[in-house]
Amino acid sequence: MSAAREERPQALSRLDRMERLSEAFYRYGLYIVLLALVVLFYALNSNFLSANNAVNLLLQTSSTGIAAAGLVFVMLTGGIDISISAVMFITAVISTVLTDMGLGLIGAIAVSIACGAVIGAVNGFFIAKLKMTPIIVTLAVMYSVRGLAIGFIGVKTLFFTNAVGAYLVKTRILGYIPLIVVILAVVMALCQILLSRTLLGKQMYAIGNNRSGAQKMGIAVEKRIFSAYVLCGALAGLAGLVSGAQVGQVSPAFAVGQEFIIISAAVLGGVSLFGGKGKAFPGAFLGVLIIMCIENGLVMARTNMYAYTIVRGCVIFVAVMLDSFHNKGETR
């Protein structure tokens, strides 16, 4: 009898240690993984830690990071948006055409954000007001928007090589920091402030954690969900402008499949698919940085061109699995 009593506290103690270890990994795991990747790729190629490659890595992170920051708002409410890549495509097309006609940088940024916000508002209306399933609505919008853009440009490629594109790509702040990286930093900072310091952000967390409870507390759930999709669309539009300028051309295949990279990066960064958990910074930013670090490192290591696709699939699987385990049994 006494032996059974001794075994029970030991079992509880082991369980408690496992839970603490799991919580510690969930909290600091991203930093551990990033550090391990840096060490691995540095061992494969010492140029991985060079200043030029560090800047290049941040540039690769920029457009995906901007879009991921917007997606955080939607995922916090328990939703999803797979029309992001199509929004990036159409805003890249529109900004390329308009800047070729003489539109300046500020105008291009404003038009891209406005265009993305309009598409986000369409998503938000059907999802928040008409209570339609997010994945179905955003899938339909994705095909519709991409089809509209392809119908406009046909099968030809638009070249974003005008003064606005060149300014975005070549401008360096303080002589070294790329303007695009500064834009990413500003977006991440503003999104995190909005999420952590404003009523809007706190209400989005509340909706994701317990939608019916949030409604009983007097939160305007429909308006907040609508706002989340508008913000997501707006930042996807800005990401489209940035990505178009970086690539230098916009073809019908522009940003195809990008939505899955953005979603997986957000989930990898701790933004829960179940809603109510996650941060734009450092969360989503670290998720994007890890994925781009893998891509950059594999390229520098001169691995098979298909290796990244396999690794990316494994990363997505692990990220979703960990999110599911961490949120197992929770009421949403």
Q: What is the 3-state secondary structure (H, E, C) of the chain?
A: CHHHHHHHHHHHHHHHHHHHHHHHHHHHHHHHHHHHHHHHHHHHCHHHHCHHHHHHHHHHHHHHHHHHHHHHHHHHCCCCCCCHHHHHHHHHHHHHHHHHCCCCHHHHHHHHHHHHHHHHHHHHHHHHHCCCCHHHHHHHHHHHHHHHHHHHHCCCCEECCCHHHHHHHHCEECCCEEHHHHHHHHHHHHHHHHHHHCHHHHHHHHHHHCHHHHHHCCCCHHHHHHHHHHHHHHHHHHHHHHHHHHHCEECCCCCCCHHHHHHHHHHHCCCCCCCCCCCHHHHHHHHHHHHHHHHHHHHHCCCCCCHHHHHHHHHHHHHHHHHHHHCCCCCC
- pLDDT tier at 79 (50, 70, 90 boundaries)? very high
User: In the prediction, which pLDDT does 316 show?
Assistant: 73
User: In the prediction, which pLDDT does 331 show?
Assistant: 46
Residue 65: pLDDT above 70?
yes
Write the pLDDT tens digit of every residue in 223-257: 999 999 999 999 999 999 999 999 999 999 999 98
Percent of the chain with pLDDT over 70: 89
Residue 36: pLDDT above 90?
no
Are 187 and 109 spatial neighbours (Cβ–Cβ below 8 Å)? no
User: In the prediction, which pLDDT does 21 show?
Assistant: 66
pTM, entire model: 0.90
Return the higher-pLDDT residue of 5 and 41.
41
Structure tokens at 182: 């500064």
Residue 140: pLDDT above 80?
yes
Residue 7: pLDDT above 60?
no
User: In the prediction, which pLDDT does 33 show?
Assistant: 83
Average pLDDT over residues 26-52: 87
- pLDDT tier at 145 (50, 70, 90 boundaries)? very high
Residue 295: pLDDT above 80?
yes
Write the pLDDT tens digit of every residue in 161-188: 999 999 999 999 988 899 999 999 999 9
The CA distance from 101 to 295, in Å, is 35
User: In the prediction, which pLDDT does 124 show?
Assistant: 97
Residue 22: pLDDT above 70?
no
CATH number assigned to the domain covering 35-326 = 1.10.3470
